[in-house]
Structure 1
Amino acid sequence: MSVTEICRAAAAAARVLRETPTEVKDRVLERIADALDADRERLKEANALDIEAARAAGTSTTLIDRLTLTDKRITGMVEAIRTIIGLPDPVGAVTGGWSRPNGLRIEQVREPLGVVAVVYEARPNVTADVAALCLKSGNAAVLRGSSIARHSNTAIAAVVREVLETQQEVPATAVQLVPDTSRDAVLELLAAEEYVDLVVPRGGPGLISTVKENAKVPTVIDGDGNCHVYVDASADPARATDIVVNAKTSRPSVCNAVETLVVHEALAETWLPGCLDELAARGVTVRGDERTRQVWPKAEAADAEDWSTEYLDLVVAVKVVRDLDEALDHIHRHGTRNAEAVVAQDISVARRFALSADSGSVFVNTSTRFSDGGEFGYGVEIGVSTQKLHARGPMGLESLTCVKNVVWGEGQIRVL
């Protein structure tokens, strides 16, 4: 099937899904979770083929980490689907309502978007995550993974497809994987405005640029994660170190890892060297401004490009600032509106940072690593929106719906 034919079939499935009862959707999801759990050896064997090819091609360790399916990660996929089963179905929820003087009753009701397409790179777990979120929210899913994860994505999608064909409670075309991993397939998907209601690109700058330049379909950008932690003069020193070390080193290859540490000058001599020692002990390369290199001479010199770089690796840029205003200015210039954090005991600083930081998620006295649909209680996420319409931050079930107005009357007609 061509990409357009896949999208056409998805649109037909979406018309069925929008009326599918919650209990049916949950029953299908439970069977998918069971099947993925039972077929984990099949998934790992397929994943091993992708990893072998990636290593042979000289792929970076960061990308291989994203690609790898371990037993723990498969268990995480399964548990995420079961979490989604337990979440309220947003479809049909009345978000507001009122009556007019003429007796009309107006309700705002959530409904599925229709066909949601996700273009993603390297992470095979996205195949299962998107399938589950879309089915629960009454949407059909079109999945276009990258060539590096071809075997893994195909295996996961096959398990889902087999369940749908066996259950026969929702159309088998409700979840489809585009087999063509070429750029032309992406361009065809971006032009399928007759059938596709939303495209979410999850990938690097090249993919995002392609989407921005060619999309005819509405998009929500899952963009870069140039995340910051600002450590204020009022911060608890031990807490600040724990947060920074976790945000940088717990999993540096993901978009919610911190890339730039911004530090109040009052802590430059008393706290910063010790924190950088902790990071260096864990293999982190430090690139600092002039003040940072004065107090910690082992740091490499940061250049202008470092402040805007998403390293996705054990590298951190460090900047010392005069005050909160300078910190916010720096984050505003270089941040990507993904996740920002402040460590401060001064509540006025914390509140101002939370108000002023222009980001989908702001973390006060905790790690940016919590910027994640699972950690937010969404089960998983379809992406992390770095824009403001129609969703922002980690996108769960509700982000895959829109609100329509349902107006109830008793024969009223408009005179003027």
Structure 2
Amino acid sequence: MSEVRAKATLAQEAAAAMNKLTTEQKNTALSAMADALTAREEEIIAANADDLQRGRDNGTSTSLLDRLALNSERIAGIAEGLRQIVELPDPVGELLESFQRPNGMKVEKRRVPLGVIGMIYEARPNVTVDAAGLCLKTGNCVVLRGGSAALSSNRKIIEILKDAMKSTSLPVDAIQLIEDSDRASVNEMLKLNGLLDVVIPRGGAALIRNVVENATVPVIETGAGICHVFVDDTADMAMAADIAFNAKVQRPSVCNSIETLLVHRDIAESQLSALVKPMLEANVELRGCERAKSILGDIRSATDEDFSTEYNDYIINVKVVDGLDEALSHIRRYGTKHSECIVTETGGHAGRFLQEVDAAAVYHNVSTRFTDGFEFGFGAEIGISTQKLHARGPMGLPALTSTKYRITGNGQIRG
């Protein structure tokens, strides 16, 4: 039996025990896991150093190395994410609806775990903990398949989490890590109907496309983030510069950072240079349309391919547009339905943007970097869904549940 099937089988066998746990038992285990991460942070940092060195040897970009890197502060943040999950309400068992039929039959609709979740992701070891915590809180088992770039970090993290679980009521087999780095292990997971109840991909466009196109197991798609900020002609320019800079530079390697800055033509001549100056000072590479190039000077032309690319790097496209309609058209063509922002003081324009842009999160005068389960108050997130069925946007605890109808009566039969 392959590693993938063997570990998925163990997770499935643990699902029955998970379904019996109380909220207190789950919270006790999550707290123990958080404490263990901080107590053994030196082991995690040492394992992470192996991953980072391998990444440097393989020519991994600076921004992706940042995504991979762990230190004391980041580990403390990851542990705090688990503690926040402890404080959040447990959705399992929540009564969503209750009614009685004319024949006296009583019907309840309650939240229940999804079962066994397959999580396929790339080089962010914090996702290992986030996914484990969210799945366990909601009574789910999880089979994790992280990227090879973070394998040493993920092995150590899972070892620590499992060690902490041994002294709690949670079955240790509820968490499984696939260590086989061959792409075949991903493709095998995608077809484990009967063992996995759902697969959630989290990573770049190529990974997500492979999962969506090849899975026979149901998929919750977390999409790539080609996000935009549109600076309207009535925008507060100081605010616009701050928002655009934050949305691109604060952490460019993540999916809610922007890849394109759209600027209204009526302010481009007077304001565009000031808008992008902080980015240039942060060594962001600009790529522009012809109108942007005529204002900014010697920058590379932005091609159709550039506008279609999630850089995850210190690169941004700049496009001058005739107004709101062209901005909306550009976003419809190139956006990935993730996060989009308008900076404007015109209420009607803000209202149209918020209404007409088809995205999981739309912003008025707020950085796109807030599309995040932690920032929305959900605790750690398992991903940001860009699809429309079951879940959309940052996926917190309720998104990891399904529903069950429970019917009681006193002998009713159907005539």
TM-score range, shorter chain: over 0.9
Take 2:55 and 2:278, find their aligned partners in 1: how far apart are those partners? 32
| TM superposition score normalised by structure 2 | 0.97
Question: Could you list the per-position Cα deviations for residues 55-85 of structure 1 after superposition, in whole angstroms to 9, with x for gaps in the alignment?
Answer: 1111111221111001111011011000000
Aligned to 1:357: 357
Deviates more, 1:340-349 or 1:135-144: 340-349
Aligned ranges for residues 123-138 of structure 1 at < 5 Å?
123-138=124-139
Give 3-state SS (helix, strand or coil) of 2:167's partner.
Answer: helix
Q: Which residue of 1 aligns with 2:307?
A: 307
Partner of 1:166: 167
Shift of the 408–324 alpha-carbon distance from structure 1 to 2, 3 Å rule, reads farther
Match of residue 13 from structure 1:
14
Return the offset for 1:96: 2.3
Question: In structure 2, what is the equivalent of residue 35 of structure 1?
Answer: 36
Show the counterpart of 1:201: 201
Does the residue aligned with 1:228 lie in a helix, a strand or coil? strand
Measured in 2, the distance between the counterparts of 1:153 and 1:159 equals 10
Following superposition, the deviation at residue 260 of structure 1 comes to: 0.6
Query: Which residue in the other structure is 2:370 paired with?
Result: 370
Letter paired with 1:414? R
1:257-336 equivalences in 2 (<5 Å)? 257-336=257-336
Q: Does 1:151 align with 2:152?
A: yes
- Preserved contact between residue 260 and residue 317 of structure 2 (Cα < 8 Å): yes
**In structure 2, what is the Cα distance between the partners aligned to 1:320 and 1:407?**
59
Provide the residue aligned with 2:175 in structure 1. Answer: 175
**Cα distance in 2, alignment partners of residues 326 and 19 from structure 1:** 54
Number of residue pairs the alignment of both structures matches:
414
Matches within 5 A, 1:19-98: 19-98=20-99
CA shift for structure 1 position 134: 0.5
Residue 390 of structure 1 aligns with which residue?
A: 390
Deviation at 1:212? 2.4
TM-score (norm 1): 0.97
> Aligned equivalents of 2:356 and 2:38: distance in 1?
44
Moved more, 17-26 or 405-414: 405-414
- State the 1:406 CA deviation: 2.1
Structure 1 residue 106 displacement after superposition: 2.5
Q: CA deviation at 1:208?
A: 2.1
- 1:109 shift after superposition: 0.9
Provide the rounded CA distance (Å) in 2 between the counterparts of 1:195 and 1:263.
Answer: 49
SS of 1:109's equivalent?
strand
Q: 1:245 deviation in Å?
A: 0.6
Q: Deviations over 1:37-70 (max 9, x none)?
A: 1000000000001111111111111221111001
CA distance, structure 1, for counterparts of residue 205 and residue 250 of structure 2:
24
Asked if 1 retains the 8 angstrom alpha-carbon contact of 2:32 and 2:165, the reply is no
1:401 aligns with 2:401: yes
Deviation at 1:117, TM superposition (A): 1.1
Shift of 1:329: 1.0
Q: Deviations over 1:304-341 (max 9, x none)?
A: 11111111111111111122121111101100111111
Residue 228 of structure 1 deviates from its aligned partner by 0.5
Shift of 1:342: 1.2
d(CA) in 1 for partners of 2:254, 2:177 = 24
What are the superposed Cα offsets for residues 239-293 of structure 1, whole Å, 9 maximum, x if unpaired?
A: 1111001101111111111101111222212222211122211111111112112
Bigger mean CA offset, 99-108 vs 6-15: 99-108
Taking the aligned partners of 2:97 and 2:263, their CA distance within structure 1 comes to 44
Give 2:73's aligned amino acid.
Answer: K
What CA distance in whole angstroms lies between the structure 2 residues aligned with 1:28 and 1:397?
Answer: 16
Q: For 1:407, give the aligned amino acid.
A: I
Equivalent-residue separation in structure 2 for 1:103 and 1:239 (angstroms)? 60
**1:126-162 deviation per Cα after TM superposition (whole angstroms, max 9, x unaligned):** 1111110011010001111121111100000000111
Looking at structure 1, the residues matched to 59 and 179 of structure 2 have their Cα atoms a distance apart, in angstroms, of 24
1:114 paired residue number:
115
2:100 counterpart of 1:99: yes
Partners of 2:323 and 2:97 lie apart in 1 by: 43
Identity of aligned residues (%): 48
Corresponding residue SS for 2:351: helix
CA–CA distance in structure 2, aligned partners of residues 269 and 23 of structure 1: 60
Tell me how far 1:300 sits from its aligned partner: 2.1
Deviations 1:154-186 (A, max 9, x none): 00000011112232x011101111121211111
Amino acid aligned to 1:250: Q
Deviation at 1:408, TM superposition (A): 3.1
CA deviations 1:213-246 (Å, max 9, x no partner) are 3211111122211000111122111111110011
State how far apart, in whole Å, the 2-side matches of 1:128 and 1:75 are: 12
Deviations 1:357-378 (A, max 9, x none): 1111112211011111111112
Single out whichever of 256-265 and 403-412 deviates more from structure 2. Answer: 403-412
Stretches of 4+ moved more than 6 A in 1? none
Tell me how far apart the structure 2 counterparts of residues 352 and 104 of structure 1 sit (CA, whole Å).
47
Q: What amino acid maps onto 1:326 in structure 2? A: E
